[in-house]
Amino acid sequence: MDYQYYVFIVSDSLGETASHVAKAAMNQYLNKNYIVKKYNYVRDADAVKEIVVEASKHKSIILFTTVMDDLKRIIIDECDRFKIQYHDILTPILDQFSQFFDDKPMATPGTMYKLDDDYFERVAAIEFAVKYDDGKDMRGLKHADVVLLGISRTSKTPLSMYLSHKNIKVANVPLVPEIPLAKEIFQVPKHKLIGLTNSPEKLNEIRIERLKALGLSSDVEYANYDRILQELEYADRVYKQLGCPIINVANKAIEETASIIMEITGLNTKFK
């Protein structure tokens, strides 16, 4: 495929900061034919020159994050030499904080990803979410920061994984009318329980697409509209029995639903 626009992301570390900023901006231009080329751990002049030469072959913009003044100067000089548009993502905010703190930054690459207690807590939370996903082991519920309940395709697993990256230990349990509720659910404090639901129309659409992806016929009970209504009614009864808050995930991004969950449960203080 021939791309009309090239977005180069250059970083002296992982490049996640530049990637997220670029994605947020580029999502406003989904009608454009562009490709993103990412270069991380770029810390010397030769590497910069190779990247800029490659960028000069296309209609390009270079977004970069570096705390190394010498490297920043090289990137800017090379971009100017080849007349390539560029944007320095970090320097403006570092300058603001230098004024705010009346101090200079450390200028040490990769400090965002140092192996500190926060990092190991995040790894533990991710491992927890995987271990206690989809009701695999009910014994984990008592150790969870939050327990998500919901019928199939109500975003339990994506939410669990997203929240785990915020250092939150999440277990999730599927609700099926034919399977009695596990006794461990009733032992979870109410403030840790969250019920998830969705619109029947959205569930029908999602389940049909899921079956197609698996190469299965959509003409099965799993995607049957009446069956979906039955499951939703059952879930509502469970939520009322447990007295837990309910979030309708229809037309909500994972990030939005996760933010609501953290607010309801008071876990927003753990946001990283």
What are the domain boundaries of the chain? 5-113, 117-270
The type of residue at 178 is: E
Mean pLDDT estimate for the chain? 92
Q: Which of 65-74, 114-123, 214-223 has the lowest mean pLDDT?
A: 114-123
Q: Is the pLDDT of residue 272 over 50?
A: no
Annotated ligand binding at 19? The verdict is no
pLDDT at residue 104 in the model: 87
Burial of 11 (0-12, 13-18, 19+ CB in 10 A): buried
Q: Collapsing DSSP states into helix, strand and coil, what is residue 67?
A: coil
Q: Is 13 or 185 the better-scoring residue by pLDDT? A: 185
Annotated ligand binding at 111? The verdict is no
| In the block, residue with structure tokens 């697993």 | 157
Annotated ligand binding at 150? The verdict is yes
Q: Is the pLDDT of residue 15 over 90?
A: no
The H or E element spanning position 120 is helix 117-131
Q: How far is CA 184 from CA 21, 93, 188, 192, in A?
A: 42, 48, 7, 13
Specify the fold of 5-113: Rossmann fold (3.40.50)
Instruction: Return the CATH class of domain 117-270.
Output: alpha beta
Over the stretch 60-100, which tens digit does the pLDDT of each residue have? 999 999 989 999 999 999 999 999 999 999 999 999 999 99
pLDDT at residue 114 in the model: 55
Annotated ligand binding at 199? The verdict is no
Annotated ligand binding at 260? The verdict is no
Annotated ligand binding at 17? The verdict is no
Contact 149, 160 (CB under 8 A): no
Q: Which two tokens stand for residue 95?
A: 């300058």
